[in-house]
Amino acid sequence: MSEYDPVESAAKGITKGALEWTKDEIGQKVKDLITKFRNKDIAFVEDVETIKIAKEQLSTSEWMLFSSYVKDKKLRILFRLGLTLRRLEETGKPFDDLKIKIIKKYDVEGFHIAQCVQSGIFSKYIGNVLERATTPEKLKFEMENLFKSIENTVVFIQTTDKEKERTAEIIAKLRANSPKMFIISSMGEATMKKCESIADNIMKTVSNYNFELYQTGKRKIFFLNKKD
């Protein structure tokens, strides 16, 4: 038996109704809707799907974990947007418009935070830090620290990147900031090959980090963990 969905039902109801209203009925029907609206029983939306996707993400284990520790409003919105981006990607829906809106509002750094969630880096990162975050306070610190220092700890390889320059840039960041963990992420076949080559070059140069590779069909992510 299918589950009753009030959102879906309401959406179907009004769509069918509005199209079938006669000219004489429109005025009264609109007034009825306004009465319900003023009683705070209904809200109007063009695309119910956008809200459904946003709400679905609130029941993911990632959101539940993150939201219970992190109260920073900007980080919480970017985290939600990262989950939404992932959902859009998974369902084959376009997400370029959302990407542009995120960059316009939160700059590239904000988009990188959302991308970190979208690509699954956050959940793998948490799995990695749980070993050393021995208290809830430390875990909260590690979560916030990943995002607040994202430009120094995570790089997203682009198809337009030049290997030599990107390799040198990452090595410089490792030497300058000496992070406990550094992440090199890539998405798409061409970028994944480039990412692997960059990681290989870094491995040959940097000896104080262990390299761990996570790979899915579309992504290749290297986690560089600083040796004790």
Partner 1 sequence: MVDLVSIKNMPKDVKVLLLKELGFDSDGTFVVDKDGKRVLDKYIEEPVKINNMFIFPGSTIILDDNPLSINSFLEEFGDVL
- Least gap, CB of 164 to partner 1 (angstroms): 36
Instruction: Report the candidate in 169, 167, 147, 84 with the shortest Cα–Cα distance to residue 118.
Output: 84
Nearer to partner 1, 29 or 173 (CB): 29
* DSSP designation for 119: T
Nearer to partner 1, 88 or 202 (CB): 88
Cα distance between residue 187 and residue 60, in whole Å: 23
Nearer to partner 1, 1 or 43 (CB): 43
- Least gap, CB of 62 to partner 1 (angstroms): 15
Using the CB atoms, write b or e for 151-174: b if 16+ within 10 Å.
eebbbbbeeebeeeebbeebeebb
Angle between helices 61-69 and 73-90 (to 10 degrees): 170
Nearer to partner 1, 88 or 192 (CB): 88
- Least gap, CB of 216 to partner 1 (angstroms): 23
- Least gap, CB of 98 to partner 1 (angstroms): 5
Q: Which two tokens stand for residue 5?
A: 């969905």
Residues that bind partner 1 (CB under 8 A): 6-7, 10-15, 18-19, 21, 26-27, 30-31, 33-34, 37-48, 50-51, 53-55, 58, 73, 76-77, 80-81, 84, 88, 97-98, 101-102, 104-105
